[in-house]
Amino acid sequence: MTIEPAVKARRDAAAGQGSVIRSVIAGVGAYLPERQVTNHELAKTIDTSDEWIVERTGIRVRHVAAEGEFTSHLAVKASERALAAAGIGAGAIDLIVLATTTPDETFPATATRVQERLGLTRGVAFDVQAVCSGFIFALAVADNFLRLGQAETALVIGAETFSRILDWQDRSTCVLFGDGAGAVVLRAGQGKGTPADRGILTTRLHSDGRQHDLLYATGGVSSTKTAGVVRMDGRKVFKHAVEKLAGVVDESLASAGLTSADIDWVVPHQANRRIIDGVGKKLGLPPERVVVTVDHHANTSAASVPLALAEATADGRIKRNDVVVMEAMGGGFTWGAAVARM
Ligand code: UT7
C-alpha cells in the first residue's frame, strides 16, 4: 500500500517536532440482533437452568442473529453508529480491520463486504482471526498502521455470529455465547509520547498454540470442509484466563508508564462474571471501575470488548481523557490488552 502524501507529511511533521502519532478513539458504536434468548428458554431444550447459568457465569440473556442476518450486517450497523459518534462520513476511512471467527464466507474477507456496504471505493479492508481476543488484535494492527503513517482514519470492528458454530446440544458451551458487533473509529492525532496523550497508549499481544485442545472448533475448511462447532474445557480455560489476563494488564500498564491506580475503567472480554471479578481482584481494582455486560450480552467473542466500550461510552460512564484498559483472551490461546486515553 502506498502512503498518501498528506499522511506522510503528517508523520514527518510529527517526527520533526519531537511528537508522536497517536490513534485517537474518535467514536464507538455497537449493534445487537433483535432476538433475545433467555436462560429459561434454553432450559426448555437442554438440561440446564437459569440458576446454574447465572451462578456459574453471570449470563441471563444473549442476542441471537436472525436467519439471513450475517456477521457483515451486524458489523455495518455498528460501524455506521461509530462513524456517527465520531461525526465523520464513511469516505474518510482508509483502513478497515474486522475481527471475526464467524465470517460471512470463507472468502473474501467480511471486511470487504463492510467496505462495499459503507460505499467505500478506496483504502484497505481485511479480517483478523484471534477468536475472543480478535478485537484487541485488530486494534493493535490498526494502531500500528496509523502510527507508521500508512493510514489516517481506521474502522476497527469486532463482529460475530457465534450462534452459528455452537453445538446446541452441548450445555457446557451453548449457554455461554451470543451474537453482536462493536466498532471504533480511530483517527491519527499527535501526542508528546507521554501517558497524558489522548489515544492508544500501548497494545500487548500474546499467543500460545500449545493450548489448542482446550478451546477450538471441531472443523475447518481445510480439514473437514465444514466450520465445525465449539468445544471447550471450561474449567482449564478459566484458570488460564484469570492468570493470563491479570498478567497482560500489568504488562500493558508498565508499557504505558501507568499503574493500576491510573485506570479509570477496565473494559474486559465478557466471558464469565467470575473471570472478570477474579482479574479485578488480582489487580486490586474496585468493581465499580469494571464495565460488565456479560449478563445481557453473554460471550460475543471478538465483539464483546467493543460492545462493552460502546455501552459505557454511550451511557456517559467513560468520558474524554479517561484511561481505559481493554483486555481479552480466547482460543489459540490468544490474549492481549490495550491501554487508551479516551
Ligand atoms: O471466551 C473464551 C474464553 N472462555 C472462557 O473464558 C470460559 C471459561 N470457563 C468458564 O467460564 C467456566 O468454566 C464454565 C462456565 C464454562 C463452566 O463453569 P465451571 O464452574 O467451571 O463448571 P464445570 O465445567 O466444572 O462443570 C460443573 C458441573 C458439571 O457437572 P458434574 O460433572 O460436576 O456433575 C457439568 O456437567 O456443571 C455441569 N454443567 C452444567 N449444568 C447445568 C456444565 N454446563 C452446564 C449447564 N447447565 N449449562
Tell me the pLDDT tens digit for each residue of 143-153: 999 999 999 99
- Which one of 39, 132, 174, 297 is the catalytic residue? 132
- Which one of 63, 73, 269, 297 is the catalytic residue? 269
- Residue 56, ligand 1, Cβ within 6 A: yes
> How big is the chain, counted in residues?
342
Average pLDDT over residues 337-341: 98
Ligand 1 atom 48 nearest Cα: 171
Tell me how crowded residue 193 is: count the other CB atoms within 10 A of its CB.
Answer: 15
Residue 11 pLDDT > 80: no
Percent of the chain beyond pLDDT 90?
95
Q: What is the pLDDT of residue 54?
A: 98
Percent of the chain beyond pLDDT 70?
95
Going from the Cα of 183 to the center of ligand 1, the distance in angstroms, rounded, reads 30
Residue 335 pLDDT > 80: yes
Measured between alpha carbons, how far is 45 from 168 in angstroms, rounded to an integer?
Answer: 9
Average pLDDT over residues 196-210: 98
Averaged pLDDT of the chain: 96
Q: What is the pLDDT of residue 294?
A: 98
Neighbouring C-alpha atoms within 13 Å toward the C-beta of 124: 18
Reported confidence tier of residue 80, pLDDT bands at 50, 70, 90: very high
Q: What is the pLDDT of residue 3?
A: 54
- Residue 57, ligand 1, Cβ within 6 A: yes
The answer to whether 269 is a known catalytic residue is yes
- Residue 201, ligand 1, Cβ within 6 A: no
Measured between alpha carbons, how far is 4 from 21 in angstroms, rounded to an integer?
Answer: 15
- Residue 273, ligand 1, Cβ within 6 A: no
Reported confidence tier of residue 322, pLDDT bands at 50, 70, 90: very high
Give the three cell numbers for residue 202.
500501548
Ligand 1 atom 19 nearest Cα: 235
Reported confidence tier of residue 129, pLDDT bands at 50, 70, 90: very high
Average pLDDT over residues 59-82: 98
| Phi–psi pair at 153, nearest 5 degrees | -135, 120
Alpha-carbon distances, residue 3 vs 6, 92, 185, 202 (angstroms): 8, 15, 20, 23
Going from the Cα of 292 to the center of ligand 1, the distance in angstroms, rounded, reads 20
Average pLDDT over residues 86-100: 97
- Residue 271, ligand 1, Cβ within 6 A: yes
Atom of ligand 1 nearest to the CA of 171: 48
Average pLDDT over residues 112-126: 97
Going from the Cα of 33 to the center of ligand 1, the distance in angstroms, rounded, reads 26
Reported confidence tier of residue 9, pLDDT bands at 50, 70, 90: low
- Residue 211, ligand 1, Cβ within 6 A: no
Reported confidence tier of residue 17, pLDDT bands at 50, 70, 90: confident
Average pLDDT over residues 178-202: 97
Q: What is the pLDDT of residue 4?
A: 61
- Residue 238, ligand 1, Cβ within 6 A: yes
Residue 6 pLDDT > 90: no
Q: What is the pLDDT of residue 211?
A: 95
Average pLDDT over residues 235-247: 97
Ligand 1 atom 41 nearest Cα: 48
Average pLDDT over residues 102-118: 98
Average pLDDT over residues 6-34: 84
Give the three cell numbers for residue 6.
498528506
Q: What is the pLDDT of residue 10?
A: 64
- Give the CA-trace dihedral at 303, 308, 309, 315, to 10 degrees: 140
- Residue 48, ligand 1, Cβ within 6 A: yes
Which of the two residues, 190 and 2, has the higher pLDDT score?
190
Alpha-carbon radius of gyration of the chain: 19
Reported confidence tier of residue 34, pLDDT bands at 50, 70, 90: very high
The answer to whether 174 is a known catalytic residue is no
Measured between alpha carbons, how far is 112 from 126 in angstroms, rounded to an integer?
Answer: 7
Q: What is the pLDDT of residue 18?
A: 77
Which of the two residues, 226 and 4, has the higher pLDDT score?
226
Whole-structure pTM value? 0.96
* Domains of the chain listed by start with CATH number: 5-191 (3.40.47.10), 199-341 (3.40.47.10)
Average pLDDT over residues 35-60: 98
Q: What is the pLDDT of residue 7?
A: 63
One-character DSSP codes across 215-267: EEES--TTTTSS---EEE-HHHHHHHHHHHHHHHHHHHHHHHT--GGG-SEEE
